[in-house]
Amino acid sequence: MNSPSALRDRILPAVRRQRLVETAVQLCAVPSRTGEAGAVSDRLASLLADEGFAVDRPTGGYAAAPAVVVRLDSGKPGSTLQFDGHLDTVHLPFVPPKVEEGRITGSGSSDMKAGIAAAVEAVRVLRDTGTLSAGAVLLTAHDLHEAPWGDGRQLDRLIEEGYVGDAVLLPEYLNDKIAVIGRGGLVWKAVVRRPGRPIHEVMRPAEPSVIAAGAELIARLQQLNERLATRSDASAGCESAFIGQVHSGEIYNQYPQECMIEGTRRWLPGTRRADVVAELQGLFDDTARATGTAIESHVQIIRDAFVLDREHSFVECFQRAHETTTGRRLPIGAKPFCDDGNTFWSLARVPAITHGPTAGGAHTLDEWVSIDDLVRVAGLYALTAAMYCAATT
């Protein structure tokens, strides 16, 4: 097997900056709010087909935006490294792409169409250089990532159907560490109701105050949060019950019919998400009984908790590839957000490393990504694949 430095010297010069930028811009030019990524999925599939790749389009249970799958196979035994990314963007007004001052801007440039373009370029480089001497690379891209509009079920189905490698790289905007732990998360919403209609406060009936009941629910959630603070990890932080929104009434002197409270619940590895949901539901039910109200609740799982075995051979392989391309190894740390690496771990026990280009403005109208770092990530992904896929599994 070629040494990491020898592979680096073949791979990095083969990354074509302009081709990479054009791919990113073409993807960013297609609006693709979560649940509406069919057109950009078609654009990516067309780009790959034009390059001569055989493109598979499994629906993953969501026919409105079939996923995009390409496999580059060396024809020799070895590991399969998966590059995975989401093509959907949050529901904000569309901002068309621009290339200026060493950056690509526009909707999805940061999160995470440019990262997918870097993964595409890595596959091209492996094909062009013939440096994939064993194993295979699997490229997957899909919709339904961003909560609360998406629930991740398309990727869940793809994994269930076998579209999964022995290890995964995800080009989300995190690159200052290797995240080995991350909290799971869900969004909860509770609506406190009384039976009567909204009415002027001087005419209010002898019914429970939904605002008072909401205050009781908030107090109980705060008590839960204090208990959860004892469950902590030095890197990932503590478990939490967070309240982010409270709404009730239409004007100041109306006796409201309902009070809406919404927030998140985050948990560490070792806590079962089914227990998290049951605990919340019990809290809502107990509060409803205590206040004489009805509480309707909804829970949406974002992702389960995440662990990466830092002793896994994939981690060391990625570290060596990073050191070979940059001259330094990455520190170990925690993942601050939930991403699809959590899903690969929870459903398939596959090691997943989140590492993408330097970028900013995710979930805003001012997204941007560094072109220089896109080039770096493309080379790093290709080098990691060339090294990992040829190693003994």
- What are the structural domains of the chain? 4-182+305-390 (3.40.630.10), 184-303 (3.30.70.360)
157: nearest Cα among 66, 63, 61: 61
Tell me what pLDDT residue 72 has. Answer: 98
Walk along the chain (393 residues) in steps of 10 and give the mean pLDDT of each run.
91 98 98 98 98 97 98 97 98 97 98 98 98 97 95 97 98 96 96 92 93 98 98 95 96 95 97 96 98 97 95 97 97 94 96 98 97 98 97 62
Tell me what pLDDT residue 392 has. Answer: 58
| Residue 23: alpha-carbon gap to chain centroid | 21
**Residue 313 one-letter amino acid:** S
Cβ atoms of 71 and 54 closer than 8 Å: yes
Residues 6+ apart with CB under 8 A from 227: none
Inter-CA distances, 312 with 231, 319, 353, Å: 26, 11, 11
For residue 3, the tally of other CB atoms under 10 A from its CB is 10
Inter-CA distances, 363 with 46, 109, 132, 150, 283, Å: 27, 11, 36, 14, 31
Buried b (16+ CB within 10 A) or exposed e, 63-92: eebbbbbbbbebeeebbbbbbbbbbbbbee
pTM above 0.75, yes or no: yes
Residues in the chain: 393
For residue 298, the tally of other CB atoms under 10 A from its CB is 11
**Residue 301 one-letter amino acid:** I
Task: Give the separation between CA 159 and CA 161, rounded to whole angstroms.
Answer: 5
